[in-house]
Amino acid sequence: MVQHKRDKVIEAAYKVMSEKGYEKASIKDIANEAGITPGLIHYYFRNKEEILTELLLASSQQYTRDMQRLQSSVPSQYLAQAALNEPKERVQRQPDWYKLRFELFALGLRNPQISDSVNALLENARTGIEDILHKIAGSTGKEAASIAAIMLACFDGLALQKLLNPEFDLDDAYLELEKMLRTTYTTSE
């Protein structure tokens, strides 16, 4: 029951923070969305930063599950395309997820209490991409880690551009990214 209530608060916090932003989201707003009293939120979480940290953790765990599901459900010859389509489609499917993600990045830069959590989120994303690179291209070690970091930066950067400019041609940008990756892996073999 306790975990269920905590999950409900995290869900509500995700919705409220993605709509209003972290700064404008209040404990009262989150409590209203969760259908509980603000005092009960304080029973489960010390403050808004702790809610945010838990939200980051939940987001990171969901990303890991999504990538594992992708790897196990898509044949290896189609995995590269599916792995590139996932972040592109997520921009359309879950723009609030990206909005909150960018909000969290900014907060992590300014707030040392959550910077480790934001860094862990990024680390988890890089590791997920790196795992896919191992599977599709046999990349290992430093090369795969570096390419995963670059890909993550591309995914986030392209999402940001699309969110800020709905006319931005995301499909075209991903086609070029795919060409660049193909070139990287055909010349490094």
Q: What is the dihedral of CA 64, 68, 73, 79, to 10 degrees?
A: 90
Q: Is CATH 3.30.70 the right assignment for the domain spanning 55-187?
A: no
Handedness of CA 29, 35, 39, 45 (dihedral sign): negative
Query: 90 CB contacts (<8 Å, ≥6 apart)?
Result: 97, 98, 159
163 neighbors 98 (Cβ within 8 angstroms):
yes
Amino acid identity, residue 140? T
Q: What is the pLDDT of residues 109-161, one digit of tens each?
A: 998 888 988 898 899 889 888 888 888 877 667 788 999 999 999 999 999 99
Q: Is 134 exposed, middle or buried (0-12, 13-18, 19+ CB in 10 A)?
A: middle
Q: What is the pLDDT of residues 154-185, one digit of tens each?
A: 999 999 999 999 999 999 999 999 998 888 76
Amino acid identity, residue 88? K
Only one residue has tokens 């988890």, namely 124
Q: What value does the mean pLDDT take over residues 74-100?
A: 88
Q: How far is CA 60 from CA 82, 94, 114, 122, 156, in A?
A: 19, 15, 14, 8, 15
**pLDDT at residue number 109:** 92
Q: What is the pLDDT of residues 12-61, one digit of tens each?
A: 998 999 888 888 999 999 999 999 999 999 888 988 888 988 887 788 78
> How many Å apart are CA 85 and CA 63, to the nearest integer?
14
**pLDDT at residue number 156:** 96
Q: Which two tokens stand for residue 74?
A: 């898509």
> How many Å apart are CA 137 and CA 68, to the nearest integer?
17
**pLDDT at residue number 140:** 66
**pLDDT at residue number 101:** 86
Q: Decide if pLDDT at 186 tops 70.
A: no
Q: Which two tokens stand for residue 97?
A: 């997820």
Specify the pTM. Answer: 0.84
> How many Å apart are CA 171 and CA 38, to the nearest integer?
43
1-45: CATH class: mainly alpha
Enumerate the domain spans of the chain.
Answer: 1-45, 55-187
